[in-house]
C-alpha cells in the first residue's frame, strides 16, 4: 500500500550511493530474515552479517566498506540514521485527528493551543497549558499549572503532577509519572518526617521518556531532564537531579537525588548513581554498575563501585584466576619449606 | 461458608493419600501459624518444618517422605501444585458479571466476543478485538487493532499500544504497558534521532505479567513472550526480545533488545541480560546477575558478568580469603629474604 | 504572598536560637544558590558549605556548631527537620475541596466518611470504605472491600486490588499498585500452574509509597508495610513480606517473598533481599547490594552477596590490588627458582 521508490531515489533521499542496480523498485523495509525481493533490508549491526548474506531482500542498506557479494547495496555514512529516515518515508505517522474528547475532564482556565488532541478520560488540571499540536492520551492527567510544549505527545496514562513543565516535541510513554514527591524525610528519634517537596520537574525539548519511568520533584530545586535526552522504561530520576543534554539512560537505571550529570552521558541498563555527585559529560556507565563517587573527567566506568572500565576488566580477570594464584602460593610454601629444611640440615 | 470436605475426599481430588484419619472434616486451607483444627495447612518449604510441628491445623499437606508425629497428613507427589488445586476448590473465583460499562469508551469497528466484561473508563481503540470471556479492567486502554484472546483478563490500568496481540487465558496486572516504543535511536553528531518502532508485541497463551512490567515493540521485529511464561512485577522486556515458552522472570529483571531466550529459563530478581544474545533453554540466572554473553548450553549462572554458578561461588570465596592470601605472600617475602641473605653470607 | 516572619519568631517555632540579628524579616525559604536577602536558606548537608559561604540569603538554617562568618544563623539541633517545619509554614498545603466528582464511578454499598474527595474517573469498588478526609486522585481504582484510612491521599492512577487496607495519614503516589497477585506458581512437568493469591496487602499508618511501586498479596498470608515506613519509587515488595515500622526503602529496591524485616531498616537504591529471610531491625543495606541470607543482628551490609560492610570494603580494596599481588608472586617464583638453582649447583 505504501508507494514504491527506485533504489537510487532512496539513496538520494538519505544522501547515499547505490552499489548495484539503482533502478530496482523498493516497496518497503523489512528485517533481513523477513524481507522479500521487493523490500530493502539493513545491516546496522555486524553481528547479523550471516543473515545479510542469506536474506531474500532486494537490496540492503549498509555502512561504508561493507561488501555483500551479488547484492544491490544502498551505502550511507550512517546506516542506522538512514534507516530511521526510510522508515518514516514508508510508514508516515498515521493521522491522529485533533479534538477535545467530550469524555475528558477540563479544569478551569485551561489554555489549549491549535490542533490539540485530548483523548477520553484525560484530566486537564486548572490553569494547565497545552501548546499547539499537543496530544494527551486516554486517562492521562495533566496537573494544575502544568505546561506541555508544542508538538509533545503524552501517551495514555501519563501523570504530570501540578506545576510540571514538558518542552516541545517530547514523547512521554504510558505510565510515566513526572513530578512525584522527592524522597525527602527528616529522621528524628527513629521517625521519618516528610519534608515538603515544592520544586518542580522540567523536561526540556526533544526528550523521550519510556514507559513507567518516574521523575521526582525536589524540596525546592528543579529536577531537569536536559534537551534531547532519551530515557528508557522503568528509569528513576530522583529529586533535584540535573541531567545534561542528550543523555541516554537505558532501562531500569536510576540516578539518586541532587546528582548533576553533564551532557551526552550514556547509562546502560540497571546502572545507577548515588546522590549529590557530579558526573562529567560524555561519561559512559556500564550495565549494572553503581557510580558512588563524582567523576571529574569523561570516562568509561564499570563495577560496584564503578571504576575505570579497563581496571574493572582487569579485576574481573584477576578474580577468575584467583584459585590458580592461591595454588601457586601453596606450591611456593612447599618449595620454601624444602629450601629451609635443606639449609637447616646443612647448618647442622 | 465454603463447603466442608473429608480429608480422604480431598486426597482423591489431588491424587494423594491420607496418612491418618481420612474421615476428618476440612473446612478450609490456612497457613501453619493461623490454621485451626478444622483447616488443612501445608508444608511446601522445608524451612517451615518447625511451624508444621506446632501448627493447630487439623491436617497438613506434605510431599512424599515427610513425617510429622501425630498429625493427619495428606501426602502428594507435588504439594505446591496440590495446594493450588485445593485453594481453587475452597475459594472458587468470584463471578464477575459480563457486560460493557456505559462509562467505557468504545472505538469504531470494535469486535466483542461472548461474555466480555469491560469496566468503567476503559478505552477500546478502533478495530480492537476482544474474544470470548475477555475482561478489561477499569481505565485500561486497548489500543487500535489490538487483539485480546479468549478468557484473558486485563486488570485495571493496563495499556496495550496499537496492534498488540495477547493470547488466551492470560492475566495482565495493573500498570503493565505492552507495546511501548523500543529504545532505538540513531546517534549522529551527538544527537539522538528516533528510529520508528513499527513492530508489535505478541504475548502468547497462558502468560501472566506482573504489575508495572513493560514490554516494548521493536523497529520492525516482533517482541514475543512465549506461551506459559510468567513475568513478575517491574520487569523490562526490550524491543525484539523473544522469550521461549514457560519462562520465569522474577521482579525487576530485565532483558535488553533483540536477545533470544530458549524455553524454560528462570531469571531471579533484579537479574538482567544484555542485548543481541542467545540464551540456551533451561538456563537459570541468579539474583542480581548480568548475562553479558550468549549462553550456548543450559547453565546455572551468577555474577556480573555472569559465569557458571560454581565458578562464581568459588570466586566469592576466594575474594573473602584475599587478606589471608596477601598475609601469606608477605610472610613468604620475609622467608625469601632470609634465605637469600643466608645464601649470600655463605657465598661471602 | 506568604507572610513575613522575624527570624527570632521562626527560631521560636522550630525550637532553635538565632546567632545574629533576630529582628531580620524572612519572607520565604530558598536554596543557597537562589535565595535572596529576604529569604532563609539552609545548610543540611556539609557538601554545600561553599554555597553557604557565598549565598545571598538573609539568614541560614544550620545545625549546632556550624560557623558562617558574617551571616545571621538560625541554629537548631535537627536542621533538616526544622526545614520541613518551616516549609510547611511558608507553603501551607493548598486547599483541595472535598467532594465526590460526578465523573467518578461508585460501586454498591460504598461508605464515605466526612470531607472525602474523589476526583474524576476514579472507581470505588463495591463495599469500599473511605474514612474521613480521604482523597482519591483522578483515575485511581479502590478495589472491592478495600478500606482507606482517615486522612490518606491516593494520588491519580493508584490501584488498590480488592480487599486492600491502607492506614491513616498515608500518601500513595501515582502508579502504585497494591495487592497485585504474588508471584506464586507450582511447576510440574515444566509447566507453571498459578497458585491462587488470596492474602491481602495491609499498609499501616503514616506510610508513604513512591510512584510506580508495587506491593503484592500472598497466597494466604498478609503482606504488611509497617507504620511510618517510607518507600521510594519503583520499589517491589513481594507476597507475604512483613516490613517493620519506619522502614526506609530507596528507589528500585526489592524484597522477595515471605521475608520478614525488623523495625527501622534502611535499604539504599537498587538493593534487594531474597525470599524467606529474617532481617534484624536497624539493619542498613548499601546500594546495589543483595541480601541472600538472614541477618540476625543489626548490621551494615554491602555487596552481592551482602556481607558486613567493612569486610566488603576490604574485599574491594584487595580486588583493586590483585594485579600487584600477582606481580609479587611472579617475582617470588623467580627468586625461588634462583635459590633452588644455586642449591642444586652446590649439591652437584
Q: B140-177: per-residue pLDDT in tens?
A: 999 999 999 999 999 999 999 999 999 999 999 999 99
Nearest chain B alpha carbon to A89: B196
Which of C12, C38, C35, C36 lies closest to C27 in space, CA to CA? Answer: C38
C neighbour chains, 3+ CB pairs within 8 Å: A, B
Contact B89, B64 (CB under 8 A): no
User: Closest chain B residue to C157 measured between Cα atoms?
Assistant: B157
Contact B156, B171 (CB under 8 A): no
Bond before A325 cis per omega within 30 degrees: no
Enumerate the residues of chain A whose CB falls inside 8 A of the CB of residue C248.
Answer: 185, 192
Q: What are A272's three cell numbers?
A: 545507577
How high is the mean pLDDT of chain A? 95
Tell me if the bond preceding C229 is cis, omega within 30° of 0. Answer: no
Rg (CA), chain C: 28
C-alpha neighbours within 13 Å on the C-beta side of residue B274: 15
- Nearest-angstrom CA–CA distance, C48 and C37: 18
The answer to whether the peptide bond before residue A305 is cis (omega within 30 degrees of 0) is: yes
Q: Which residue has the cell 521518556?
A: A209
Element (H, E) at B177: strand B177-181
Q: Is the CB of A121 less than 8 angstroms away from the CB of C139?
A: yes
Each residue of A218-257: pLDDT tens digit? 999 999 999 999 999 999 999 999 999 999 999 999 999 9
Phi, psi dihedrals of residue C131, rounded to the nearest 5°: -75, 180
φ, ψ of residue B7 in degrees (nearest 5):
-60, -35
In angstroms, the separation between the Cα of residue B281 and the nearest Cα of chain A is 21
Tell me B344's DSSP state: H
Q: Which one of B121, B246, B288 has the shortest CB-CB distance to C304? A: B288
Q: Does residue A155 contact residue A173 with C-beta atoms inside 8 Å?
A: yes
- Among B104, B107, B123, pick the best mutation site for testing chain A contact (most A Cβ within 10 A): B123
Candidate list C192, C193, C239, C309, residue with the active-site label: C239
For residue C307, list chain B residues with Cβ-Cβ distance below 8 A: 320
Q: How far apart are CA B283 and CA B301, in angstroms?
A: 8
Whether the Cβ atoms of residue C185 and residue C193 lie closer than 8 Å to each other: yes
Shortest CA gap C280–chain B (Å):
18
What pLDDT is stored for residue B347 in this prediction?
A: 60
Alpha-carbon distance of A263 to A265, in angstroms, equals 6
Task: Please report the ipTM that was assigned to this predicted complex.
Answer: 0.94
- Which of residues B310 and A46 earns the better pLDDT score? B310
CB pairs under 8 A between A and B: 182
Task: Please answer yes or no on whether B212 and C105 come within 8 Å at the CB atom.
Answer: no
Instruction: Kindly report the backbone phi and psi dihedral angles of residue B32, in degrees, each rounded to the nearest multiple of 5, phi listed first.
Output: -55, -40
pLDDT of B1: 47
pLDDT band at B7 (very low <50, low <70, confident <90, very high): very high
Alpha helices in chain A (DSSP H): 7-14, 49-54, 79-90, 309-320, 322-347
Please report where in the chains the cell 521485529 appears, as a residue: B221
For residue B343, which residues of chain A lie inside 8 Å, CB to CB? Answer: 343
CB B168 within 8 A of CB B150: yes
Cα of C188 to nearest chain A Cα, Å: 32
**Measured distance between the N- and C-terminal CA atoms of chain C, rounded to whole angstroms:** 100
What pTM value is reported for the model?
Answer: 0.95
CB contact under 8 A, B192 and A88: no
3-class state of residue C198 by DSSP: coil
Look at C251 and A274 and tell me if their CB atoms are within 8 Å. Answer: no
Question: Distance between terminal CA atoms of chain A?
Answer: 100
Question: pLDDT under 70 in chain C at which residues?
Answer: 1-2, 95, 346-348
Angle, CA of B120, B122 and B123, to the nearest 5°: 140
Answer yes or no: C91 catalytic.
no
CA neighbor of B157 nearest in space, from A272, A175, A294: A175
For residue B231, the surrounding DSSP H or E stretch is strand B230-231
In whole angstroms, give the CA distance from residue A198 to residue C221. Answer: 38
Rounded CA gap, C312 and A130, in Å?
A: 51
Mutate to test the interface with C, among B96, B118, B233 (most CBs of C within 10 A): B233
The two beta strands, B177-181 and B201-203, are: unpaired
Quote the distance between the C-alpha of residue C251 and its chain's center: 7
Structure confidence at residue C1 (pLDDT): 47
Please state, in angstroms and rounded to a whole number, the distance separating the CA atoms of residues A107 and A154.
18
Q: What are phi and psi of B178, to 5 degrees?
A: -110, 125
- Closest-CA distance, B51 to chain A, in angstroms, reads 32
* Residue in B91, B192, B239, B309 annotated catalytic: B239
**How many Cβ pairs closer than 8 A exist between chain A and C?**
181
pLDDT, mean of residues B195-203 = 96
* Mean pLDDT on B222-234: 98
**CB distance A28 to A10 below 8 Å:** no
List the single best residue of C212, C254, C320 to mutate versus A (max A Cβ within 10 A): C212
Would you state the pLDDT for residue C347?
60
Cβ pair C256:B251 closer than 8 A: yes
For residue B159, give the nearest of A156, A233, A323 by CB distance: A156
What pLDDT, on the 0 to 100 scale, is given for residue B178?
A: 98
How far is the alpha carbon of A131 from chain C, nearest alpha carbon, in Å?
22
Contact A83 B192 (CB under 8 A): no
CA B164 from chain center: how many Å? 21
DSSP 8-state code for residue B1: -
pLDDT of residue A1: 47
Which residues of chain B make contact with A88, given a CB cutoff of 8 A?
A: 196
| Mean pLDDT computed over A197-204 | 97
Res B348: pLDDT: 57
Mean pLDDT of chain B: 95
Q: What is the mean pLDDT of residues B126-139?
A: 98
- Residue the block writes with cell 520565604: C28
Interface with chain A: mutation pick from C30, C45, C138, highest number of A CBs within 10 Å: C138
Q: B234 to each of A52, B140, B187, B260, C16, how far by Cα in Å?
A: 35, 18, 28, 20, 44
Pick the residue from chain B with its C-alpha nearest to C323: B326
* Residue B250 with chain C: CB contacts under 8 Å: 183, 256
Q: Of the candidates C171, C175, C339, which has its C-beta nearest A212's C-beta?
A: C175
Nearest-CA distance from C322 to chain A in Å? 7
Catalytic residue among A91, A173, A193, A239: A239
CA B293 to chain centre: 22
| Contact state of C219 with B252 under an 8 Å Cβ cutoff | no
CA separation for the pair A39, A7 (Å, rounded): 10
With 70 as the cut, is the pLDDT of residue B12 above it?
yes
CA distance B266 to B282: 7
- Indicate whether B214 pLDDT > 80: yes
Query: Which residues pair with residue C172 across a beta bridge?
Result: C154, C209
| Torsion angle of the four alpha carbons C165, C167, C173, C176, in this order, in degrees rounded to the nearest 10 | -20
Amino acid at each position: 500500500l505504501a508507494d514504491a521508490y527506485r533504489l537510487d531515489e532512496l539513496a538520494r533521499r538519505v544522501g547515499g550511493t547505490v552499489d548495484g542496480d539503482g533502478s530496482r523498485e523498493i516497496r518497503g523495509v523489512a528485517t533481513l530474515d523477513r524481507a522479500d525481493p521487493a523490500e530493502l533490508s539493513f545491516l546496522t549491526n555486524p553481528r547479523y552479517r550471516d543473515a545479510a548474506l542469506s536474506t531474500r531482500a532486494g537490496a540492503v542498506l549498509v555502512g561504508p566498506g561493507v561488501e555483500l557479494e551479488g547484492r544491490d547495496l544502498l551505502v550511507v555514512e550512517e546506516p542506522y540514521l538512514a534507516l530511521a529516515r526510510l522508515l518514516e518515508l514508508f510508514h508516515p505517522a498515521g493521522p491522529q485527528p485533533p479534538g477535545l474528547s467530550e469524555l475528558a475532564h477540563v479544569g478551569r482556565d485551561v489554555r489549549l493551543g491549535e490542533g490539540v488532541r485530548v483523548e477520553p478520560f484525560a484530566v486537564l488540571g486548572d490553569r494547565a497549558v497545552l501548546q499547539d499540536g499537543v496530544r494527551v492520551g486516554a486517562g492521562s492527567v495533566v496537573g494544575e499549572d502544568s505546561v506541555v510544549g508544542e508538538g509533545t505527545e503524552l501517551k495514555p496514562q501519563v501523570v504530570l503532577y501540578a506545576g510540571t513543565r514538558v518542552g516541545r516535541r517530547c514523547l512521554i510513554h504510558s505510565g510515566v509519572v513526572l513530578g512525584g514527591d522527592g524522597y525527602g524525610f527528616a529522621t528524628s528519634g527513629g521517625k521519618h518526617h516528610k519534608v515538603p517537596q515544592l520544586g518542580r520537574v522540567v523536561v526540556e525539548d526533544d526528550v523521550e521518556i519510556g514507559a513507567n519511568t518516574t521523575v521526582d520533584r525536589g524540596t525546592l530545586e528543579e529536577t531537569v531532564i536536559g534537551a534531547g535526552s532519551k530515557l528508557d522504561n522503568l528509569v528513576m530520576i530522583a529529586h533535584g537531579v540535573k541531567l545534561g543534554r542528550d543523555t541516554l539512560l537505558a532501562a531500569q537505571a536510576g540516578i539518586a537525588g541532587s546528582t548533576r550529570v553533564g551532557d551526552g552521558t550514556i547509562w546502560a541498563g540497571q546502572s545507577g548513581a548515588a546522590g549529590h555527585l557530579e558526573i562529567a559529560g560524555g561519561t559512559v556507565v556500564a550495565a549494572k554498575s553503581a557510580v558512588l563517587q563524582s567523576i571529574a573527567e569523561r570516562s568509561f566506568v564499570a563495577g560496584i563501585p564503578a571504576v575505570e572500565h579497563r581496571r574493572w576488566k582487569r579485576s574481573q580477570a584477576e578474580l577468575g584466576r584467583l584459585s590458580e594464584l592461591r595454588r601457586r602460593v601453596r606450591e611456593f610454601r612447599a618449595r620454601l619449606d624444602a629450601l629451609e629444611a635443606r639449609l637447616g640440615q646443612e647448618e647442622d
